Amino acid sequence: MADKSQAVVCSIFSVPLVNGVNNGTVNIRPTRRPVNLAAVSASYPPGTCFPLWNDRNIHYVFPMSIGTPPQWFWMSVDTGSSDIWVPSINARGDVLNAAIPRPFRINYGTGAAEGLRDIDNISFSGLKIEQQIFGEGLFAPGEMFNYPFDGIFGFGFQVMSDTDKLSTPIDNLFNQRQIVRRLFCTKLYHTLGSAGGEMCIGGCNDQAQFWKPISMPGFWQILMSRVDIVTTAGATTLTLCPNGCQAMFDTGMGISGTTADRMDAIAATVGAHYDNYWQLYISTTQTCDIGFQVMIYQTADFLLGDPFQRKMTVIFDKDNSQLGFANIQP
């Protein structure tokens, strides 16, 4: 049991990004992807809803620019964090902005992003945040070099922010009258590529069929009444948390997870085994990852990532501290 848990929990480590010289301007490194992101962004319809690019059903990204003239980046949608950060070209640790000399460090499941704070205007999909504090990453998790995005855009609460606890990006959009509500929704599709999903900010074009109140202030977390494993014929084969359990919704995770004891029960029920080489739970009848792994999170019993959220539209309502759920409408 303990070995399985340890096998999938990544240690926090850092590797330097590209060396550069601080020339007094914003020292963010241009996107590593050979795509004209300005043209991609211009092709998106103006308004609060915009497409998400789906890479292998693991990451959902969108183009964002910083500064004048704009520098473009692919940004990963992450409801499990509250900061914006992009790679820096300066890996020597120089102060990038005299007004904000403080460092930042953001811990993720795959490692930690570290660097220094900066401030500039940020734009995406016709929306603009003036003087947004963000991080210039000097160090990042090593495997992020293989990711199809450059930085992370956090849509969480202030309590999780390391760059600016006074105003998160969603708060700044509201305070600067770019949106009328601190509410957004995500639709994560199985379709790969440019039509891989949709995000709406300031509203949602799907109506919630039911709402659940936030159970842990500061996190997109709710209390689930129970968890059932049900066959295609409708028979319940396993019930977990009969008295309820806490579940966090995190779009930044390409898998879902729970504790080792619950994971063993799920695997036994659905016919999966733990593969020590791949460090994944593999279906016995189909050679595939079942999308659930062992995770230990201090506030939640379940972390529900993209595989779970692809089943529905999830509406994140900060104004009313609640999560809404609806059937996905194309």
Among 40-44, 75-79, 285-289, the least confident range? 40-44
Which pLDDT band, with edges at 50, 70 and 90, does 5 fall under? very low
Within 10 A of 17 (CB to CB), how many other CB atoms are there?
20
Residue of 118, 164, 171, 250 marked catalytic: 250
**Residues ≥6 apart with Cβ < 8 Å to 147:** 55, 59, 76
CA dist 211 and 209 (Å) reads: 7
Q: What is the mean pLDDT of residues 261-283?
A: 83
Mean pLDDT across the chain, nearest whole number? Answer: 77
CB 293 within 8 A of CB 281: yes
Query: Given this model, what pLDDT does residue 307 score?
Result: 87
The answer to whether 285 and 229 have CB atoms below 8 angstroms apart is no
**Residue 309: per-residue pLDDT:** 92
Percent of the chain past pLDDT 70, that is, above it, reads: 75
Mean pLDDT value across residues 12-24: 26
Assess whether pLDDT exceeds 90 at residue 292: no
Confidence at 18, pLDDT banded by 50, 70, 90: very low
Q: Reply yes or no on whether the pLDDT at 3 is more than 60.
A: no
- Each residue of 107-132: pLDDT tens digit? 776 677 788 888 899 999 889 999 99
- What's the pLDDT score for residue 195? 82
Per-residue pLDDT at 4 exceeds 80: no
With a cut of 60, say whether residue 278 has pLDDT above it: yes
Q: Does 250 qualify as catalytic in the annotation?
A: yes
> Could you tell me which residues come within 8 angstroms of residue 45 by beta carbon, excluding any fewer than 6 positions away?
none
Q: For each of the domains in the chain, give its residue range(s) and CATH number, in order of start.
A: 1-330 (2.40.70.10)
What's the pTM value of the predicted model, to 2 decimals? 0.81
Residue of 55, 78, 118, 150 with catalytic role: 78
DSSP character string of 10-29: PPP--EE-------SS--BP
pLDDT, residue 24, reads 32
pLDDT greater than 80 at residue 298: no
**SS3 (DSSP) at 267:** helix
Give, in order, the Cα–Cα distances in Å from 29 to each of 64, 101, 110, 280, 284.
13, 19, 21, 34, 44
Say what the pLDDT of residue 286 is.
63
Q: Does pLDDT of 265 surpass 60?
A: yes
Asked whether 142 and 13 are in contact (CB, 8 A), the reply is yes
pLDDT for the residue numbered 94: 39
pLDDT tier at 16 (50, 70, 90 boundaries)? Answer: very low
More confident residue, 161 or 140: 161
> Which of 156, 125, 135 has its CA nearest to residue 51?
125
